[in-house]
Structure 1
């Protein structure tokens, strides 16, 4: 029996009753089904058309969901999960959506049997604690200085991506970039901020094999006076500024009253003296390069070029921070406060190169760069955009392993091992919570099942054999080879997942499923345009039972 829809007034509509969780589950399942086929090495691609008519071809879960336009609030919250996962750990965006959808789907049978959502959520949370304990038993520590091991980890995590056909290229770039910007905090802890200190520059042209990680930074700028300033300097002394090198007119100078001819000359002389003083403050430290985030006047450029200094202006704040990290300089707010310790001397080469039609500045060969730029070359912009998405995932994986050097087997092996542990423990759970607890184990099997489906093998036979192996043997490393669909030992295959990503995936998926299960009302307070009525309307009850839940949520 369908629940009535209560209309409180013209602006507020409310849907209540047992239909709400069912509608939420259906919406979440629909989102999960969209990206189910993008899991694993044999994944399919999605063609996305954006509003401006552009086309994106990708199998990156987060990129696909970002482009989806959905009206249902439950579907919107599912899409938020993918974004959260991407920001937190940078990988597992597809897995978290598929798992959350499956946790909701297996809960539907209990809602039909009149289980209270609180009971289901309690069982789910208990299962989450036990799942993480079981995952700890499967995980093992690794040495992050072992290059070959790191390559295997990153390659197995991005083996599902478009760039896997280019061998170890993307994995090499990711590991080099993360190793460059990693800062050792002691006690085995590392600070790795890939968003702030590693930038990807995409330049169409050349081959993908020409891509490289620069031991320093590059940015799209040329020197202020190309004819007078040097474009190549070895071992440069670099000064970074966050202030303009131009005359600042005061509030009362905008309407200056000139009484005599000489007054105009006086104004110009004041301006020249001001700029000359600024430049003298900088020149006395004998820098080779001056870079400022603000403007730089022609007169300042003249004084600097006379002193043999190359100047660059209007550099982005983020680029300036990276230059400071790479060459050991300090960004100064006022030239008068400049000190010898603020001058960067860690760079080996300053060079301006023309690539295509544009000029790029390179500050490279740094002694100890804690910032880097990844230069990507390729045939077209579309190809480079997809390579960049894959590279960001690969850097996310390398960062997670650096921060928490523990691994779990891939290919659905860790999910099956956790599911087997939960099934075994479910017999000791008392009361009606036992059924939802066991359902979590059943839902975790969706990952290996989806891998088998995408390989095109017989899913029922493969899953039955895999369940038997995990139930009767002590080898938790057995999973599904994503390329062939054959049951294989993941240790021999060398397919690994980051422990941090897997824990985050389980937590996010189960907590999101619990949150959506506890919704029992959907209230819409969005006003619709209506013809003005003659008199005030009274609150009314509309008991029309055939109103669809989607009608309650305006597009």
Structure 2
């Protein structure tokens, strides 16, 4: 009796494409390496910039890893993991976004030969996680506790280190002092939203201003605005979330009256309610009125007659900063305005900056906010300077990696043979940071790495790449400092991304459910200029 042949069981709908096993793992690694090659040359003080063309009116020039990764619409599902870790690094610590992507790519490249030799991915994952734990332990040992007395110097040096690879590196001393001044004004919560960055074209970077208080660009104004005072000492600041404007009736509004004379009483009642609001504001004693909503021409003229200043449609973040600086509280009604909700400062003034006028609140006794007005020659230049300052608020850049390599290599000798090889591979991958910094500066990276290995083998743990003199230097003596949290976050994020990608051995894609990608297509010539973005990982500007 012949055995019954059972028909195959179909679990996935027709048109579904599956890819699994070692080829899928290798494909994912190759895709990630293609992404890494796109941002690799942006690392370090001599890193190159990337021009990402999105449309004729929207072109971004940047060497910030997170910015470049965000602007590239990466189609390959595994490679999107690198975008996620760059965003995570940017949101957590602000700096090291390029480093974390490059390290993740190097870890994957180190794992590739072992996969091809038949080593199970889970063995590699366990070894890499163990190596990551050792690296974290070593970073904590290398870190130095800074005494409060030296905190100011430490913050400035960290800011300058972070700025070495930025567009504003030529003004690093100027901006590092400015950024540290801003951060030290904040309270213990260190809410970076309380540091406002305004961009004003014209002038040079050296014309940028730091304001220990709040400032915002003059808002839309009505007739009567120029009659209002533009300089007030010890102002009383009232912040509102109220619309002070008479509006026409809405569409389809209907009022039925039996006597036409009653219409005038309705108009009079509306005007009385409006003027009662204005009189209540005036009676509160406030002479600087800010509102998140519109302040119309009638209210503007009223405040001008009373020698009061007003500004409507002030952005929400600016209102919050003014409240934090002056001690005011946002009001949603004008009834019962008590003195405790009115803020104050030494001086309110309207000042010309470039081609625009700014409203400044300075000399605030409760100052827990600051504003930086960035100047520069072009819009793209100022945009990149703003991104650089965001990184500076969080701090940092290079080092530590060579001593991590030595430490991991020394500790791998006590492990099993396969695990020893894997931890050594992880350790060697950490060398990618000094190697890439040297390559981007046009140095002989092989010679630089040999010198670094020799110094670290002799116990001189602070040596790193010397960009200025084309060699190596004691980074501690050279004040190339960074917070340990930057390197900790980089190593952990890169390791977790590597382990995630190595744990995926099958991709299921249902072509019938695919939807067309939204957004403009990037020009083919621009695609070619962006580097390797073809077969393995397609990239489009958003």
TM-score, normalization: structure 1?
0.86
Q: Any residues of structure 2 matched to 1:55-454 within 5 Å, and which?
A: 55-143=59-147, 146=150, 147-180=152-185, 182-184=186-188, 191-194=189-192, 196-222=193-219, 224=222, 225-246=224-245, 254-345=253-344, 347-397=345-395, 411-412=398-399, 414-430=400-416, 432-454=418-440
Q: Is the 8 A contact 2:178 2:210 kept in 1?
A: yes
Are 2:14 and 1:28 aligned? no
Inter-partner Cα distance in structure 1 for 2:355 and 2:281: 32
Give the Cα–Cα distance (whole angstroms) in 2 for the partners of residues 454 and 159 of structure 1.
13
Distance 2:497 2:471 in 1: 32
| Conserved? CA contact 1:42–1:483, under 8 Å | no
Matched, 1:527 2:525: no
Aligned residues: 510
CA contact (8 A) 1:144 1:150 kept: no
8 Å Cα contact 1:90-1:396 kept in structure 2: yes
Provide the rounded CA distance (Å) in 2 between the counterparts of 1:554 and 1:199: 33
- Counterparts in 2 of 1:165 and 1:251: CA distance versus 1, 3 Å: closer
Q: Is the 8 A contact 2:42 2:49 kept in 1?
A: yes
Task: Return 388-397 or 358-367, whichever deviates more.
Answer: 358-367
Matched residue of 1:491: which SS? Answer: coil
- Contact 2:214–2:361 at 8 Å: present in 1 too? yes
Change over 3 Å in CA distance of 1:258–1:236 after alignment to 2: same
Give 5+ residue unaligned stretches, structure 1: 1-5, 185-190, 399-409, 531-548
Q: Which runs of 5+ in 2 are unaligned?
A: 1-9, 516-533
* 1:114 to partner: Cα distance: 1.4
**Residue by residue, what CA displacement relative to the aligned partner does 1:493-533 show, whole Å, maximum 9, x if unpaired?**
22112111111101110000000110111111342799xxx
Q: Distance in 2 between matches of 1:111 and 1:176?
A: 51
SS in 2 for 1:330: coil
- Does the 8 Å contact 2:323/2:343 carry over to 1? yes
1:39 to 27, 33, 43: 43
Query: In the aligned structure 2, how far is the partner of 1:31 from the partner of 1:483?
Result: 29
Contact 2:438 2:444 in 1 (8 A): yes
More moved, 485-494 vs 295-304: 295-304
Go from structure 1 to structure 2 and tell me whether the alpha carbon gap of 1:554 and 1:357 turns closer, same or farther (over 3 Å shift): closer
**Equivalent residues in 2 for 1:8-19, closer than 5 Å:** 8-19=12-23
Contact 2:465/2:471, CA 8 A, preserved across alignment: yes
Q: CA deviation at 1:441?
A: 0.7
| C-alpha distance in structure 1 between counterparts of 2:15 and 2:348, whole Å | 63
8 Å contact kept, 2:45–2:467:
yes
Which stretch of structure 1 is more off in the superposition, 477-486 or 228-237? 477-486
The alpha-carbon deviation at position 161 of structure 1 amounts to 1.4
- Relative to structure 1, the CA distance from residue 145 to residue 200 in structure 2 (aligned partners, 3 Å threshold; closer, same or farther) is farther
After superposition, the Cα gap between the structure-2 partners of 1:53 and 1:320, relative to the gap in structure 1 and judged at 3 Å, is closer
Hey, what's the Cα distance between the residues in 2 that align with 1:422 and 1:219? 51
- SS of equivalent to 2:239: strand
State the match for 1:460 in structure 2.
Answer: 446
Displacement after TM superposition at 1:27 (Å): 1.0
Deviation by residue 1:418-448 (Cα, 9 ceiling, x = unmatched): 1111111111123632322221111111111
Q: CA deviation at 1:137?
A: 1.1
Tell me how far apart the structure 2 counterparts of residues 127 and 31 of structure 1 sit (CA, whole Å): 24
1:536 aligns with none
Deviation at 1:264, TM superposition (A): 2.0
Which secondary structure state, in structure 2, belongs to the residue aligned with residue 80 of structure 1? helix
**How far apart are residue 292 of structure 1 and its match?**
1.0
Secondary structure of 2:74's match?
Answer: coil
Whole-angstrom distance in 2 between the partners of 1:241 and 1:360: 19
Contact 1:330–1:342 (Cα < 8 Å) also in 2: yes
Where does residue 528 of structure 2 map in the other structure? none
With over 3 angstroms needed to count, the CA separation of the structure-2 counterparts of 1:329 and 1:9, relative to structure 1, is same
Q: Does the 8 Å CA contact 1:8/1:14 hold for their aligned counterparts?
A: no
Q: Hey, what does 2:529 align to over in structure 1?
A: none
- The structural deviation recorded for 1:166 is 2.4
RMSD over aligned CA atoms reads 2.7
* 2:502 paired residue number: 517
Cα distance in structure 1, aligned partners of 2:325 and 2:200:
22
Q: Deviations over 1:117-157 (max 9, x none)?
A: 11111111111111111111111012455433322221112
Task: State the 1:329 CA deviation.
Answer: 0.5
Is the 8 Å Cα contact of residues 37 and 43 (structure 1) preserved in structure 2? yes
**In 1, distance between residues paired with 2:304 and 2:257?**
33
Q: Report if the CA contact (8 A) 1:211-1:377 is conserved.
A: yes
